[in-house]
Amino acid sequence: MNTIPAGQPNTLVIELKNVSKVYGTGPAATHALRGIDLGISPGEFVAVMGPSGSGKSTCMNILGCLDTPTSGTYVFQGLDVGTLSRNQRALLRRHALGFVFQGFNLLNRTSALENVELPLLYRGASGGERRAQARQTLAAVGLTGWESHTPGELSGGQQQRVAIARAIVCNPAVLFADEPTGNLDSAMSLEIMALLTALNDERGITVIMVTHEREMARFARRIVYFRDGRIDSDGLARIIHEERVNIPGLPEQHRFPLAAGGCVAMSGPDTRPASRGRGAVSRCTGDA
């Protein structure tokens, strides 16, 4: 079957119910996840932290429909992902999810524009449509003028921007980022965090990000801490919106990256929770 059935109405975009994952069997079995319960609302920015081997990537792979749990239920936008075929899960990935990785994962001898066009190609968009949309998305991440450059001609921060453009070009509901600043120096890391923050604030994209660094986690609103395959703590990030857009050390030109080429028009329903601050948007448009 090549369509995704409609989900039941659900206020959560993501819900894990008693999810476990066991790799291997018998004495060699590894219990990577031991009964995870997790609910994420549309528009949240969640940082996932925890020691190496605590189950972060396993959990992200399940959330990203790249892997399936051994037991328990994963509900995405009201849809029980466990009832979907492999094809349907691939469709769900293509239509509703975006991925950003530590190593950028761009095609090397391919221009920034073509890298960003790729997901649209898989979706069957026409050439003209693809180019226009990819161009617009590169502009939104501050890369106007860099369209024809290959990854080797771009800095690490710029490559990660291309990867983010590729991840959001199909307007995903959720953006997964696994250590997105792991290969970047601190200035570039802040630049990428400012961009993820702006996408979350201004477009209402739900962001779920694995990071080892407290410095990066504080951009999130909520931090879920894994330990030994369980959620050890789950709470609000210490800094609130107004503070996080004024992070000391963040260069002025990187504070509101979407404002660089004029504010990007928001499309789709505003899924932000009512409590969400609008600081970045109002400053971005100049009407304080």
Positions touching ligand ADP (CB under 6 A) are 23-24, 30, 32, 50, 52-58
CB of 209 to Mg ion, least distance (A): 12
CB of 65 to Mg ion, least distance (A): 17
If the CB atoms of residues 16 and 280 are measured against Mg ion, the closer one turns out to be 16
Site for Mg ion in 189-248 (CB under 5 A): none
If the CB atoms of residues 7 and 51 are measured against ligand ADP, the closer one turns out to be 51
Contacts of residue 243, defined as CB under 8 A and 6 or more positions apart, other chains included, come to: none
If the CB atoms of residues 58 and 160 are measured against ligand ADP, the closer one turns out to be 58
Site for Mg ion in 36-65 (CB under 5 A): 56-57
CB of 176 to Mg ion, least distance (A): 12
Q: Which does 197 bind (CB under 5 to 8 A by kind): ligand ADP, Mg ion, none?
A: none
If the CB atoms of residues 22 and 118 are measured against ligand ADP, the closer one turns out to be 22
Residues that contact Mg ion, how many (by CB under 5 A): 2
CB of 17 to ligand ADP, least distance (A): 19
CB of 24 to ligand ADP, least distance (A): 6
If the CB atoms of residues 56 and 135 are measured against Mg ion, the closer one turns out to be 56
Assign 3-class secondary structure to the chain. Answer: CCCCCCCCCCCCCEEEEEEEEEECCHHHCEEEEEEEEEEECCCCEEEEECCCCCCHHHHHHHHCCCCCCCEEEEEECCEEHHHCCHHHHHHHHHHHEEEEECCCCCCCCCCHHHHHHHHHHHCCCCHHHHHHHHHHHHHHCCCCCCCCCCHHHCCHHHHHHHHHHHHHCCCCCEEEEECCCCCCCHHHHHHHHHHHHHHHHHHCCEEEEECCCHHHHCCCCEEEEEECCEEEEEEECCCCHHHHCCCCCCCHHHCCHHHCCCCCCCCCCCCCCCCCCCHHHHHHHCCC
Q: Which does 181 bind (CB under 5 to 8 A by kind): Mg ion, ligand ADP, none?
A: none
Q: Which does 23 bind (CB under 5 to 8 A by kind): Mg ion, ligand ADP, none?
A: ligand ADP
Name the residues that contact Mg ion, by CB under 5 A. 56-57
